[in-house]
Chains A and B, each alone.
Chain A
Amino acid sequence: MDRTQLLLMLSIALFSLGLVGVMIRRNALVMLMCMELMLNGVVLSLVTFAERTATLSGAVLVFLVFVVAAAEIAIAIPIVLLLSRQRRTLDVGAWSELKG
């Protein structure tokens, strides 16, 4: 298998594993981490294409994505902290009344 193809397959596999994790796990923090895994899979495909086409803009974009991911975590974790302080649990089932 070609190197690019192998890395794209790995990126697909990581994205799918993260998707499964977000859908089946019950712990809010674990769901957040599975979302990080999905983002890592996507970034892997971005880096693969940037390397393959030798575009530096791709590397710059990856850096900007990292910054946005850090900001996202900095907002998401205080929200999880607040939720867990209200119900004394990290189980997302405790907030099932949030569904429409």
Chain B
Amino acid sequence: MNLETLLLYFFAAAALGGGVLMLIARHPMRVALALISSMLSLAGIYAILGVHVIAVFQVLIYVGAVMVFMVYVIMLLDVRDPSFLERYGRAVVPSIAIAAALALVLGATVSRGRMITAADVAQLQPGTVAASFDVQPFSAEFLERYWLHFELTSVLLLAAVVAAIAVVKAGRRHDG
């Protein structure tokens, strides 16, 4: 077993541990920290896979933007309400049973599946197979073939900003 595989198992275990801690932790801040550690482990996995661009974006967008926003809101709303005293709702056992059944079915399917071979990859449309996932081929592919999607994301983000402002405005009118 080489170092890469060892690191892969380590990061996989860390991501899984973060996910389990999210279910157990009482305070939302601890849940956020568990989620951040899980996301960072996933970024490590992406880096081991050689998909460095995605690893960087995972850290920048998820941990850097989304989770910082989340932590900020948690600190803003530090309310000791019933959800803090009593972590779980009523349907704990059925929920865990449903999720375990789903995981079992999906896991059985994956474990019986056939490995993806080079022939399968060759069957994909020619021109889509990449030599590497470095920044340069990624950027060239992104801005040459998918430039329209890139521009559309800016429209989406603008719509999100407008919607966020509209939601806050609507709440203010409701209050008073």
Contact = CB atoms under 8 A, between A and B. Distances in A.
B163 to A, nearest CB: 5
A17 B128 contact: no
Contacts of B74: 29
Contacts of A30: 22, 28, 31, 83
Contact of A70 (B65, B73, B121): B65
Given A13-B16, A36-B66, A55-B129, A60 B164 contact: no
Given A25-B88, A33-B31, A69 B163 contact: no
A90 B77 contact: yes
B27 to A, nearest CB: 9
Interface string A72-88: 01110111111011101
Contacts of B9: 6
Contacts of B113: 5
B45 A44 contact: yes
A53 B79 contact: no
A54 B122 CA distance: 10
A2 B114 CA distance: 11
B3 interface: no
A47 B46 contact: yes
B84 interface: yes
B69 A51 contact: no
B15 A14 contact: yes
Contacts of B89: 23-26, 92-93
A44 B12 CA distance: 11
A20 B77 contact: no
A13 B156 CA distance: 31
B8 A89 contact: no
Given A12-B106, A89-B82, 20 more contacts: A10-B12, A17-B16, A17-B99, A24-B91, A25-B87, A27-B31, A29-B74, A33-B35, A36-B35, A40-B39, A40-B62, A51-B133, A55-B124, A62-B54, A63-B57, A74-B160, A75-B167, A82-B171, A88-B79, A89-B79
